[in-house]
Structure formats: structure tokens, C-alpha cells
Amino acid sequence: MIEFIKHSKIYFIIAAIITIACIFFLLYFGLNLGVDFTGGSILRFEYVADRPSIEEISAKVNQAGIASFSYKDLGEKGVIIKTKDITEDQRKSLYETFYNDSNIDKDTLNFDKIGSAVGNETKHKSIIAIIIALAAIIIYIAIAFNKVSRPVKSWKYGIVTMVILAHDIILPLGVLALLGKFASREFSIPTLTALFTILGYSVNNTIVVFDRVRENLIKKSGEFKDIVDVSINQSVSRCINTSLTTLFPLIAIYVWGGESLKDFSLVLILGILAGTYSALLLAGPILTKWHALSRKR
């Protein structure tokens, strides 16, 4: 049996450093919101042969009546052009300019234009969805822990579950902020979807460990911290294995699954890693510390 509680200080310090760093990234860099949320347009395509110079491509965009835009190479022959919100006329001429260019492989031409009103709405809707999801999860936790329990009150399990949830979400958010700043990766609807999925996954992992604790409190006698230790030990293989089997396909998507699902799978991978760490090494130890502190008083 591994004595998890004995080393809880180390787990706390590691988690605290990572979490504080991620919060810092998040506050300092912010999220690099994509066109889904800000409005604007993205044009993506590949040239049949060699890619012309940036100047040539810029001139074409300017021809379409668009002065400011951002440009990025995509692979060998590809190009990504991003603009702020543009008018219908600009949209038309931008698209036509490149659609009618015979050097471009039309089958690779992708174009997104999202009005800023729609972007704002998506932002608004996302915030509402986050609030609803959090409310639903709080209600779910309240139901899951509604039985009276000794020696730790059941609402404390709920609070710790929420703390763990925050920990699991902050890691991918911090990494996203970092990637947004230095790799100009954008926070998009797929990344948001992945974050939502982590919500469910994190809570579930923590509940499994806590269920063991409560089960063992009834069955076994001994000090609270020993019972927590036993429970964590019983959950280790289960927690790691379920995470592994979920990580296998996600890592496969990240590596082989193409550009569009990269951020989506990355966020899920990070969330599941954070979730496994916290369910095994944070949830039980935090609860034990809290119990010890409240008994001292």
C-alpha cells in the first residue's frame, strides 16, 4: 500500500505552483478568442504549386479593399488569412479574388465569415451555458453527497469536489492562454466544448474516490487519514486505467487526427491528466487536512 497522505505536502506544492502559474497566464495574457467569438473572417487555402511571396498575397487582399489582416503560412503550400469583421462587399471581393485565382486549389479553399453580432451572441450564449453547467453540477454534487456522513460532513466533500473541478479546468485554460500568446492558437468553439466535457469528467473522478472513502468509513475502523489512504489505494488502478483508455484515442486524434481537432483533443488530454492527478493526489489529502484542521479547533 502506498501512503498517499504522508506526502500530501508535495502534491499540494506541485498543484499550487502549476495552478498559480496558469492563473497568471490566464490573467496576464488572457484568452486569444477566435472568430467564433469576436466576429471576422478566416480564409484558408493551398496553392497548386509554390506559394507566392507574402507581398504578392497581401497585395491581393488589399485589392479586395481590406487594409488590415493577419497572415500565416500553413504547411508547405497553404495560407491562412484573417481579418476583422468585414462588410458584405469586402467579403464578396475577398472571396472572389482568391476563388478566381487559378494558382489556388479550389478544393482546399475554406472560408469563414462571422458577423460581430453573431460572435457576441456566441460569447453571451457560452457564458450562459457555463453558468447552467456549473449550477447543474453543484446540484448533482449536492444530490451525490446528500447522505449524512461521519466524521466529515457531507457538504465538505461537495466543496472539495468543486475545488478539484476548478483545479482541473485552470490547467487547460492556462495552457490555452500560453498557446494563444506564443503560438497564436485561438480559443474556439471546439476548445470550449472540450472544457465542458472536462467538467463532467473531473467531477466523476472525484466522486469515485470519495464514494470509496464513504464506503470504507462504514466498513472499516481506524483513523480518518488511514481510511482515506486505503480508499485512494483501491482507486489507483481504476483511475489510472480509465484515464489511460480515454487518453489513447485522444492522443491518437491529437497526433494523427488533422488540424481541426488538435486543440479540442489537447484540452481534453490536459484536463484528463489534471483530473487524474487531482482525484488521486489532491481530493483525499485536502479532505484529510480539512478534517484535521477542524478537529484542532
Partner 1 sequence: MHTRIYKLLSLLVIVVIIALAIFIYPKYFNNLIKSINPNFLGFPEKEFRLGLDLQGGAELLYQADLTGIKTEDVGAAMDGLRAVIEKRIDIFGVREPEIKIMGDNRVSVQLAGIKDPNEAVKEIGRTPYLVFMEPKENYEEILEINQKALEEQNYDKMQDPFTPTDLTGRYLKKAQLNFNPQTSEPVVSLEFNDEGSKLFEELTKKNLQKPLAIFIDDELISAPIVQDVIVGGSAQITGKFTDKEAKELATNLNSGALPVPITLISQKSVGATLGIESVKASMIAGAIGLIAIIIFMIIYYRASGFLASLALLFYGVLILSIFKIIPVTMTLAGIGGFVLSIGMAVDANILIFSRVKEELREDKEISSAIKSGFSRAWPSIRDGNLTTLLVALILFNFGTSFVKGFATTLMIGVVISMFSAIIITRILMLAMTQTRFGKIKRIWR
Task: Give yes or no for residue 242 binding partner 1 (CB under 8 A).
Answer: yes
Instruction: Work out how close the CB of 264 gets to partner 1 at its nearest, in angstroms, rounded to a whole number.
Output: 6
Cβ atoms of 275 and 231 within 8 Å: the answer is no
Q: How many CB atoms lie within 10 A of CB 275?
A: 27
DSSP state of 280: I
- 166 touching partner 1, by CB under 8 A: no
In 3-state terms the chain splits into helix, strand, coil percentages (rounded to 5) of 70, 10, 20
> Strands 104-114, 40-47: parallel, antiparallel or unpaired by DSSP?
antiparallel
Confirm or reject binding of residue 255 to partner 1 (CB under 8 A): yes
| C-alpha distances in Å from residue 142, one per residue of 137, 196, 197 | 8, 19, 20
Q: Which of 2, 249, 292, 294 binds partner 1 (CB under 8 A)?
A: 249
Which residues sit opposite 78 in a β-bridge? 46, 74
**3-state class (DSSP) for residue 147:** coil
List 18, 23, 31, 251, residue binding partner 1 (CB under 8 A): 251
Among 31, 90, 123, 211, binds partner 1 (CB under 8 A): 211
Stretch that binds partner 1, among 18-26, 151-159, 176-184, 193-201 (CB under 8 A): 193-201
CB-nearer residue toward partner 1: 25 or 186: 186
- The least distance separating partner 1 from the CB of residue 254, rounded to whole angstroms, comes to 8
Smallest CA-to-CA distance from 159 within 145, 177, 169 is with: 145
As separate numbers, helices (DSSP H) first and strands (DSSP E) second, the chain gives: 10, 4
Query: Footprint of partner 1 on residues 62-101 (CB under 8 A)?
Result: 88, 91-92, 95-96, 99
Task: Determine if 2 is a binding residue for partner 1 (CB under 8 A).
Answer: no
**226 vs 288: CA distance, rounded Å:** 10
Question: In the range 220-239, which residues lie near partner 1 by CB under 8 A?
Answer: 234, 237-238
Report the site for partner 1 in 4-23 (rule: CB under 8 A): none
User: What contacts 290, CB < 8 A, 6 or more positions away?
Assistant: 152, 156, 160
Stretch in the footprint of partner 1 (CB under 8 A) among 106-114, 152-160, 175-183, 276-284: 106-114
CB of 184 to partner 1, least distance (A): 20
Binding-site member from 15, 36, 82, 228 for partner 1 (CB under 8 A) = 36
Residues in the chain: 297
By CB under 8 A, which span of 10-18, 151-159, 196-204, 274-282 interacts with partner 1?
196-204
102 binds partner 1 (CB under 8 A): no
User: Which residues make beta-bridge pairs with 71?
Assistant: 81
CA within 13 Å, CB half, 55 = 0
* Residue with Cβ nearer partner 1 (25 or 214): 214
Q: Is 190 in the site for partner 1 (CB under 8 A)?
A: yes
- Determine the interface stretch with partner 1 among 1-9, 17-25, 256-264, 280-288 (rule: CB under 8 A): 256-264
Identify the bridge partners of residue 43 per DSSP, sorted by sequence position.
81, 111
